[in-house]
């Protein structure tokens, strides 16, 4: 590990990522709170968790602050966000990270455990099209233990309500513009700063080589997620939280 890596302020990068994400989702902490409530309700306060498409480890951070006896495996493909996660959690033996492509049929082979009490993800799987997402859900059906849970908080669009969708989006984006005028960083600005950082510049360039500006995924409805998860082997699946634009679906094995 280089001296530059160890001297980088990983906490500042973690916090700046959180602030950038909150620009898009001001209710982000509320969805995390409900997610962890459900973890406690179903698998208790010392779970083995897979933080799926973990990014900088935002879910893991909140998990360990609330449940000190939990353990977490973060998995992602993004080298820049993983660098922040690994720097932020360096020295914490409750946490491990795996770099893997979730569309690779063999990605689960890199994990340290065969099963998990809970698999958690937020605002990440909309990067996938519905077909690879359905395949991923099938893999998760075998990764979550009996009685365990999978939760996904993400954009889940109901195409049957176009006027509601348009009004909600207009209202949300107006608030985002006001926050941006007050100094909030958007996605593009945050990545521009990462590209200027001596430690993150190379992994950021690699990241854009993998994804481009943003992957072209899908945002299927809550009903699609619940149905597809049941088809993947989960016994029950439904929303346990919703905002005007997003939902948190919970699937019970």
- Tokens 């019970």 belong to which residue? 252
What's the pLDDT score for residue 3? 54
Query: Tokens 């439904």 appear where?
Result: 238
pTM greater than 0.75 (yes/no): yes
Q: Which one has a higher pLDDT value, 235 or 7? A: 235
* Paired tokens of 203: 């992994």
**Residue 216: what pLDDT?**
77
CATH of the domain at 193: 3.40.50.150
State the pLDDT at residue 209. 95
Q: Name which of 102-116, 117-131, 207-221, 224-238 the model is least confident about.
A: 207-221
Q: In the predicted model, is pLDDT for residue 14 greater than 90? A: yes
Average pLDDT over residues 147-176: 96
Instruction: Look at residue 101 in the predicted model and tell me its pLDDT.
Output: 97
Into how many domains does the chain fold? 1
Longest CA span, the chain = 54
The per-residue pLDDT for range 32-48, each reduced to its tens digit, is 999 999 999 999 999 99
Give the closest residue to 213 by CA, choosing from 184, 191, 193.
191
Give the angle 175-249-227 at the CA atoms, nearest 5°: 125
What is the mean predicted confidence (pLDDT) over 172-185? Answer: 94
Share above pLDDT 90 across residues of the chain, in percent, rounded to a whole number = 94
Q: Is the pLDDT of residue 2 over 70?
A: no
Q: How confident is the model at residue 6 (pLDDT cuts 50, 70, 90)?
A: low
* Per-residue pLDDT at 215 exceeds 80: no
Alpha carbons within 13 angstroms on the beta-carbon side of residue 105 total 0
Instruction: Write out the two tokens for 161.
Output: 């309500």
**For residue 213, what pLDDT band results from cuts at 50, 70 and 90?**
confident
Q: What integer is the mean pLDDT of 63-80?
A: 98
Length, in residues, of the chain:
253
Mean pLDDT of 13-29: 96
Distance between CA 91 and CA 28 in Å, rounded? 27
Q: Which pLDDT band holds residue 1 (cuts at 50, 70, 90)?
A: low
Starting from the edge strand earliest in sequence, which strands make up the sheet with 246-252, in order?
95-99, 71-76, 48-52, 116-122, 144-155, 246-252, 236-242
Q: Domain of residue 44: give its range.
A: 3-252
Q: Is the pLDDT confidence value at 17 over 70?
A: yes
């Amino acid at each position: 590990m280089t001296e530059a890596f160890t001297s980088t302020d990983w906490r500042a990068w973690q916090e700046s990522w959180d602030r950038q994400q909150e620009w898009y989702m001001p209710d982000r902490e509320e969805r995390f709170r409900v997610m962890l409530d459900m973890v406690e309700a179903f698998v208790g306060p010392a779970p083995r968790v897979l933080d799926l498409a973990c990014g900088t480890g935002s879910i893991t951070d909140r998990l360990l602050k609330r449940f000190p006896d939990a353990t977490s495996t973060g998995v992602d493909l993004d080298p820049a966000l993983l660098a922040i996660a690994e720097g932020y959690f360096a020295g914490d033996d409750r946490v491990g990270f795996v770099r893997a492509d979730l569309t690779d049929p063999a990605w689960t082979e890199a994990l340290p455990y065969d099963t998990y009490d809970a698999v958690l993800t937020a605002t990440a799987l909309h990067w996938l099209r519905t077909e690879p997402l359905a395949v991923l859900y099938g893999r998760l059906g075998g990764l979550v233990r009996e009685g365990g849970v999978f939760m996904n908080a993400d954009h889940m669009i109901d195409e049957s309500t176009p006027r509601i969708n348009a009004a909600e989006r207009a209202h949300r984006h107006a608030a985002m513009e006001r926050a941006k005028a007050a100094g909030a960083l958007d996605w593009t600005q945050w990545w521009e700063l990462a590209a200027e950082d001596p430690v993150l510049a190379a992994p950021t360039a690699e990241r854009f080589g993998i994804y481009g500006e943003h992957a072209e995924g899908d945002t299927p409805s809550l009903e699609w997620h619940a149905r597809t998860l049941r088809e993947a082997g989960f016994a029950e699946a439904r929303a346990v939280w919703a905002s005007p634009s997003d939902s948190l679906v919970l699937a019970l094995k």
